[in-house]
Each structure stands twice: as C-alpha cells, then as structure tokens.
Amino acid sequence: MSFPDNFLWGGATAANQYEGGWQEGGRGIAVHDLITDGTKDEPRRIYCRNDQGEETTIQMGECVPFGYRGVLKEEYYYPSHQATDFYHHYKEDIALMGEMGFKTYRLSISWTRIFPNGDDEEPNEDGLIFYDHVIDELRKYNIEPLVTILHFDMPLNLATKYGGWIDRKLIDFYLKFAKTLFVRWKDKVKYWITVNEINVLGGYWTLGLASNNRKKGSHSNQGETPLEDAGIKFQSIHHMLVASAMANKIAREINPKFMLGTMCALSGIYPATCHPDDVFGAYEFRRKALMFSDVTCRGYYPNYAQAIFDEYGFKLKMEPDDEKWLRENTSDYLAFSYYRTTAYDRFSPNTTTTGGQQASPNPYLEKTPWGWPIDPEGLRFVLNELYDRYQKPLFIVENGMGNDDIIKEDGIHDTYRIAYLRDHIKEMKKAVEIDKVNLLGYTTWGCIDIVSAGTGEMKKRYGFVYVDLDDKGYGSLKRIKKDSFNWYKKVIATNGEDLD
C-alpha cells in the first residue's frame, strides 16, 4: 500500500464562499460581503463611497482609494451573504462528508462571526457555539477538523479604522482571534492553518489596504497588484508572517501536540522553452512564491528576497524582534494549494505579479473551461520540489477542477472531474510511493459546491455534491450527489488503491 494508514483524505472549503448566514448569530461585516458577483469575463467589484458621497468601484486585488470605504448597494447580488448556506446545512453536509468516508474536513472560521468588528474586547459566544456544533458533528463521524484561521477574511471595521494589515495593530487583533480558537478547541482540533495562500494576498479584500493607485487590478484571486502597491502589500504580508509565527508560539503553549502550518498557493511554473532566459526567468518567478514558504518553513527571508523587493523599490521595515519571532516559530508542515502549472515566457514576463502565480499558458496542456491548465504530473513535480527544499511534511489542502455541471434525468455525470482528480491522485501516489515524499493528506477543493472566489459564480463548481443555486442566488439549496461522490468514497475506502 502506498499511502500510510493514517493518510488524511477529505475536502476543503472556506467560510467566505460556503457558510452564508452573514447577518445571523451576531456576525459582523467582512470586506468579502461587499464583493458583487461576476463572471469569467466580467470582474467582481466593490462599490466604495467617501464622506462626500462620491462613489467609485474597485476590482479584486485592488486597494480602496484613501478616504473611501466599501458599501453595499441594494441593486447588486453579493454571493457571500448566503453562499451555499453551510450555516443552516452543516448537519446534512457533514453527514455527506461522513458517507464519503472523509478522514478530515478543512474549514475556515469567519473572523467576524467570532469578533464582529475585529477589535472587540470579547468574542461573540454565539459564533463560537456555531463552530462548537460543527466540530462536534465532525467528531461524530470521526472526521478530523483542519481549521484555517484566516481565509480571505478581512473585518470591514479593521479595514476602515486601521487601514488593514499595514497597521501592526492587526497582529494583536489576529492573535486574540487565533488564541480564542486555540483555547476553545485545544482538545478537539489538532491541525491548524494560520493563513490561507499568504503569498497571493493583496489589496482591499484580503488585506484591507488603501492606496491612490488606480491601475487595473486582477480579475482573479491570484493577487496581481499594481507595481506601486507592491510595497504596502509586502509590508502587510510581513505583519501576517510575524502574526503567524507568534500564533504558532501561543498555540504550542496551549497544546504542544498541535500541528501548525501556514498555507501557500504553490501551483507550479515551468520555463516556456529551454532558452536560458526562460529557464532562469521561471526560476526567479517561482521564487516570488517560494519566498513566503521559505519564511514559514525555514524561519527567515531568503537571500534572494532583497532582489525581489528591489524590483519594486521596496524596503522592508522590521521591528527588532521580528526576525527572532520568525526564526523560533516555524511551521510543522507546509500546506499548499495546487490547481495547475503555467509557463514563464521571456517575451511576456509578468513583472507586476508579486505572488508569483501568473505567467504564460503552456501549449502542451489541456485547460478547464475556465482556462486553467490541467497538469497532474506538475503535482508530482511540485511535491518533490517542496519536499526537497524543506524536508517538512506536506499537505495538499486544495486541488480540483471548476466546471459547470449539468443535471440530467439520471444524475450528474461529472466524468471530467473524476478524470482530473484520478490523474492528480495517481501522481501524488508516485510522489509518496516512489519519491518518498512525506505527505500528510489531501483535501479536494469545494467538496460540496461553493461560490467561486475569483469570479463569484456558482456555476464554477468543484464539489462531489451539487448545490441547487444559480449565479444570482436563486435555487432551493438542495444537495444532490454527483457521480464523483461514489467514486471518491471508493478512493477513500481503498486508501487510494482503487482509482477506477
């Protein structure tokens, strides 16, 4: 058998895309509650207003202009408000996860459900009780909760009052939030992720940042940032890295058995050709992503970090103890997302990307309907790359294919999703069996359909379970098993041996 007996098979979601119940149980408003729906061609937007009543809009990845704040407009649809309503369906959904035999389920905690304003003195007990119920329900089915503390979640009040993560006070607010969770679930949760995809965060929606640069932002959630905004982004992410390290220390004092990781988006990158400029360009491009996992896994900024900062004319500001915090409180494992690979082409290098995820398409790979190249072998490549580099256990906490599923009279035949996952699991298996990579588990993304983060669509579905809801929020929310449901159930039951 290639996968260890305790291999953690499961699925993953995030509160901002799944939970809903946005005004229930005392939950406060987060910036993601102000993001409209979109499509793959029509960017999601945040409407903003200043004190004079003037309005403007920003896209995901952009900063809010100084003096403006995000507002809700009645005429628009905001997908996070209801999302796919885990808030009211958690029992039914967890039963479905249990039926599939999940060993783990990765969920994120809504910051504003616990601290509605982010800077409240006391946590909101109703919010904690909701997650108590979720965690107890998971335990009922022997499903190990894997908790992401922060997944694309920015309390609106912290963005408005402090300007987001550029202010170091955010470190304290985050630590209070994290500590509340560690203490509450010290005997019920073992696996933690301090921050989701820390290397691709940017702008108002994930960092709460303001700036007067009005260059076009990214349509995707992969953090394309105007050159001039890269500095505040790096500085803010530095604050988050320090916060993560401090959270690790607090967590270990509460329960030394906790497993703590910070998560990075580490879909792979190849050179477009064997031209040395493409090869070294790809190498440099990859470092823009690896720089962050270098900090969380090794405990310090790598030698090449300064070259990246120089590219953006940025000088990192460190407090005297920051380096010590980072050095002494590294992650126990590296959690990462993997969806695709891209190719670096010297003729069209994307110099404004500070997260290191956007580059040219690869002509050798098929694409999903949303244009994401499908590259199972790339997963084996990345698993080896990361394990060679860090020699720490790895955890694939997101992988999957977004597709528009069609309901037929005799069911939902998502053969394309089964093929995608099967091919990726085969390569993951080779990495474990042949290359001896230490892999803790695998959680597929959006195991029950959720709203797409990048486009805000419902029809970009990832799940084994279909949720009856359309792009404008109409539908019964009924859960329907797709063909992939029984397929994944069999994969888990055979510990990855039967993939047919």
Q: How far apart are CA 81 and CA 469, in angstroms?
A: 13
Minimal distance, residue 11 CB to ligand BG6, in Å = 13
Q: How far apart are CA 94 and CA 134, in angstroms?
A: 8
Q: Which amino acid would we find at residue 262?
A: T
Contacts to ligand BG6 from residues 207-236, by CB under 6 A: 221
Contact between 337 and ligand BG6 by CB under 6 A: the answer reads yes
Q: How far apart are CA 111 and CA 120, in angstroms?
A: 11
* Residues in CB range of 449: below 8 A, 6 or more apart: 84, 458, 461, 462, 463, 465, 466, 467, 469
190 within 8 A of 34, measured Cβ to Cβ: no
Residues that are catalytic: 197, 398
Dihedral angle of Cα 436, 437, 443, 446, to the nearest 10 degrees: -120
- The single residue among 14, 63, 64, 396 that binds ligand BG6, judged by CB under 6 A, is 14
Query: Token pair of 80, please?
Result: 């996070």
Using CB under 6 A as the binding criterion, the count of chain residues that bind ligand BG6 stands at 16
319 within 8 A of 385, measured Cβ to Cβ: no
Q: How far apart are CA 270 and CA 283, in angstroms?
A: 8
Minimal distance, residue 386 CB to ligand BG6, in Å = 17
Q: How far apart are CA 78 and CA 456, in angstroms?
A: 9
Minimal distance, residue 276 CB to ligand BG6, in Å = 31
Q: How far apart are CA 130 and CA 108, in angstroms?
A: 13
Minimal distance, residue 204 CB to ligand BG6, in Å = 16
326 within 8 A of 245, measured Cβ to Cβ: yes
Convert residues 61-100 into a mask of x (bound to ligand BG6 by CB under 6 A) and - (unbound). Answer: ----------------------------------------
Q: 210 or 365, CB closer to ligand BG6?
A: 365
Q: 9 or 372, CB closer to ligand BG6?
A: 372
Minimal distance, residue 379 CB to ligand BG6, in Å = 15
Of the chain, the end-to-end C-alpha distance in Å amounts to 16
Minimal distance, residue 5 CB to ligand BG6, in Å = 29
Q: 236 or 452, CB closer to ligand BG6?
A: 452
Contact between 154 and ligand BG6 by CB under 6 A: the answer reads no
Q: 393 or 454, CB closer to ligand BG6?
A: 454
* Residues in CB range of 350: below 8 A, 6 or more apart: 224, 358, 359
Q: Which amino acid would we find at residue 59?
A: Q
Contact between 108 and ligand BG6 by CB under 6 A: the answer reads no
- The single residue among 117, 196, 206, 236 that binds ligand BG6, judged by CB under 6 A, is 196
Contact between 322 and ligand BG6 by CB under 6 A: the answer reads no
Convert residues 432-461 into a mask of x (bound to ligand BG6 by CB under 6 A) and - (unbound). Answer: -------------x------xxxx----x-
Convert residues 253-282 into a mask of x (bound to ligand BG6 by CB under 6 A) and - (unbound). Answer: ------------x-----------------
Minimal distance, residue 61 CB to ligand BG6, in Å = 12
Dihedral angle of Cα 323, 327, 332, 337, to the nearest 10 degrees: 40
Q: 69 or 460, CB closer to ligand BG6?
A: 460
- The single residue among 19, 93, 137, 197 that binds ligand BG6, judged by CB under 6 A, is 197
Binding site for ligand BG6 (CB under 6 A): 14, 17, 152, 196-197, 221, 265, 337, 398, 402, 445, 452-455, 460
